[in-house]
Structure 1
Amino acid sequence: MGFSASAGCAQGGCSLPSRARLTLCCFCRKFTSRDFSYHYEGEQFCISFPEKILPFDPSQWAMAWHKSIIKFYRKRKMNRKYIAILVIGLSLAGGIAHADENSLGPLAKMVGVWEGDKGNDVAPAQKSTGAIGAPAASPYFERISIVPGAGATNASEQDLVTVQYHQEVFRKSDKKKFHDQVGYWIWDKKFNTILHSYCIPRAVCITAEGKLEDPNKFEVGTDRAIAESIFMKNNGTTRMFNMSMAVNGDDMKYNQVILTTIYGKDFSHSDSNTLKRVKQ
């Protein structure tokens, strides 16, 4: 019996990245536990580690693979030799996850699920309020899910690593979602640059960047990298975007300002919130 790293899973439906995958040659059946999926095909045993437990946390990994071994032993009546192989494989996979965390650089601290209920949105009031264009404050709560993303190389010399995220924002007044955003935080190690690229379902996308002066604070801005629909260009165009976000341990805080021209005048649309990481 032996084990070997695998660039791809033998299970056709497995879409997890190869960096979080390991193949052991042992078994030929399928078993699924809470934290790990075990795929069997012929004599290949593929252990797939989902992104939700990246980046590497020694205590989390130790508890996860210990529980998995006990469950597997009870269900399959594995002997000690098989258990030893499984332990080695899971340990190696932990090393792979640790390497993945290191490769994310300053972005690694962002990975996880974040929630906060201290948000404040100041936007131009709608026509229906009777105070069109006046500042209207909306307290909100939100949830941001951040996972490792795909890397990229631009023009043969700019190597980028990323985390991708989904942000959902809800008004406190009626609990309804009023903002949904998907995007990437991007790190360019060579040029010491942080980039933030995102889109919202108003047919508006923005890419902002800034120098990484502090590994725990990300400040980006732009007045040109803005894509928007013809309607938005004529009725609510975005002219400038600036954002500052600080991450310290399980605490995240951000402030952002979007300068728009709407209802015939300029308006500084601002958002801020403080969040806690609720899941790694």
Structure 2
Amino acid sequence: MFGSMHFKLALFIVALCRFRIILSEDVVSLSYEDIFPTAEKRFRAVMRMIDGNGFNEKLVALARDKVTTQCNAKMGNSSELNALTTGAGEQDQAAAASNHHAANDPMAIPDIVKNCTKYNDLFVDNLTNIGKRLRSIFQSMFGDDYKVKILGKDLEFNEGQLESMFLDLRFVFTPFSDDLKHIYALINPEKKNNHEKTGIKDEEKEMVKEWVSNNAPNMSSVFNMNEEQLWTVMYQLFNTDVSMLESVKLRIEVFNNNTDDLKQAKELCKKQNSAMFGSIALLISAVLMFTIS
């Protein structure tokens, strides 16, 4: 059933596709694997963002501020978009719309321009809901104390890490989502819905265990699957008409492609997650962050 939430997500994705046309002359196909080259690094990076029931609330608030500020600035500076909303006449507006191939879009560009906050609030809702499910996934794979087991301790949140965490979010979310897709394919190879399939079979559990062993070997020793919990939350993430994961991935892609600091931010993210920086990575990233603020 295509419910109201899924309908909103569908409209959100349509809007984001329009953002990509409007804001970027050339949408760059980003490579994320060189920043977080292993699933283990990706899992650890995301685990550090989880605080309480999901993504750290201040991180989510920062993400909202970042995407909304960018959206408002880009939309306000676009002469063609201004023509769409404040043009002298219908011909001006139609011409501008035609330039963006938007005449027959389900969601008109003027509505997008006027609703940056609305769509970014939906992005935040999706991010918040995903954070809750990610916490549940980590618990179902590694136990309730997964942070202690994998990160060494349940790290206390430090507001000085916010910018660093947001930088990680920009570049880890896409490949981490792909990791989850691989795991979901292992536990639901026939792509059955929850009415046809409940729970995870023993052989599927072994395949997930093998995946963890091959892709995150230092985490394999603490692997302890709660089959029912993992199946339930994975089903919630993937067996929907419109995926929250895909909508958030696309919104982050739009953000990355419309920042002036993309190359510099990518290099900084790579450095702060490089083993050679060790325990001083956050200190260095905090200092360097001033150059791209």
User: More relative contact order in 1 or in 2 (CA 8 Å, sep 6+)?
Assistant: 2
For the criterion TM > 0.5, the same-fold answer is no
More strand by share: 1
More helix by share: 2
When normalised by structure 2's length, the TM-score is: 0.29
Greater Cα radius of gyration, structure 1 or 2: 1
When normalised by structure 1's length, the TM-score is: 0.30
